[in-house]
A and B are shown apart, each in its own frame.
Chain A
């Protein structure tokens, strides 16, 4: 079955460390997205990518970085510059940015030790 796989499900990080969250899709979608979800805050867009080797900042990109070297993969790195990284992170994809709806993975919960 086609879908989006996020790994790991739970991730723990020590303060001052960078950590990378994985997102892989086999839907042949061009567009991919990363969201951060905090209780009572809804979803906020971190980065999105319309095509391989291209990505744009979303509303809360500070302290995060991404790459898009392959169509199927859009990893998110939470850097030590992100002051409050504890959150639920969701990856999504769509055929193109103009095409909705987006399909979501099951998320990664990141906690700081």
Chain B
């Protein structure tokens, strides 16, 4: 079985500052890793994913995440956040051959002016 730990339930940050949202996972097998974003009262949208290949993955809106197998981490970073990035972010893991995603409990990113 897999598990996901998002170490921070809430991360407050000022606009244009850098941010890192932490995600660690536990699994006895190789995994696929995902970050989803959820705006208030909406569903989840995929932000980025790691399936294989380059350990650094990027999204179209400036976020990036790096898969670190030795530290079992998949932290999400952005060098300069905007007010519009305020949302809840979920890390998720899936083992190839398994049927379902396992989600972390989420991190609320609060960007203020």
**A and B: bona fide binding partners:** yes
| Set of chain B residues within 8 Å of A92, measured between Cβ atoms | 43-44
State the majority secondary structure of interface residues on B.
loop
A-B contact pairs, 6 of them (CB 8 A): A44-B103, A45-B100, A104-B36, A104-B43, A106-B41, A107-B41
* B9 contacts A40, C-beta separation under 8 Å: yes
- In the assembled complex, A50 has its CB within 8 A of some CB on chain B: yes
How many B residues have CB within 8 A of the partner chain?
A: 24
Query: Hey, which chain B residues are within 8 Å of A90, CB to CB?
Result: 43-44
- The interface stretch among A11-19, A74-82, A93-101 is A93-101
Question: Does A101 lie within 8 Å of B34, measured CB to CB?
Answer: yes
Q: Report the number of A-B residue pairs with Cβ-Cβ less than 8 Å.
A: 57
Give chain A residues whose Cβ lies under 8 Å from the Cβ of B44. Answer: 43, 90, 92, 104
Selected contact of B43 from candidates A48, A56, A58, A105, CB within 8 Å: A105
Min CB distance B67 to A, Å, is 15
Given A43-B90, A100-B32, A48:B42 Cβ within 8 A: no
Minimal beta-carbon separation of B97 from chain A (angstroms): 7
Given known contacts A43-B44, A102-B101, what 15 new A-B pairs fall within 8 Å (CB)?
A6-B43, A43-B90, A43-B103, A45-B100, A58-B100, A90-B43, A92-B43, A92-B44, A97-B99, A100-B94, A100-B101, A101-B34, A104-B36, A105-B43, A106-B41
